[in-house]
Amino acid sequence: MNLQLSDIVILLILATAIYSWWQNTSIREQALIQAKQHCESLNLQLLEDSVAGSGWKPVWRNGEFKIQRTYKFEFSSSGIARYSGKITYLGNQKIQVWLSPHDF
């Protein structure tokens, strides 16, 4: 079997795509767990037990290339009204949880 440079490039692109998908899935699961914990700590209910990716962008910070991912979710303080929140990750580290103003 003779591998050409184009075959190697295709394999590297495929491996990078699979790794990126796996990494993104892992961080999304972390975001869901962190959103649940944050809501529980404030006696709020995370609605639909889910987070949805709302965007990502490449960031160059402190000499390192990282991906900043933002996930949106909905929560309720009373079980009736719905409020929005978002959780932001830089690389695989949570950097911010934001909750819209809500009633207690």
List the one residue out of 76, 82, 89, 78 whose CA is nearest residue 33.
Answer: 89
Q: What is the pTM of this model?
A: 0.83
Q: What tens digit of pLDDT does each residue of 44-92 get?
A: 999 988 999 999 999 998 889 999 999 999 999 887 889 999 999 998 8
Q: Where are the domains of the chain?
A: 5-99
Q: What tens digit of pLDDT does each residue of 9-29 get?
A: 999 999 999 998 999 999 999
Per DSSP, helices labelled H in the chain are: 5-41
Q: Exposure pattern of 79-95 as b/e (b: 16+ CB <10 Å)?
A: eeeebebbbbbeeeeee
Tokens of residue 13, six digits: 């692109």
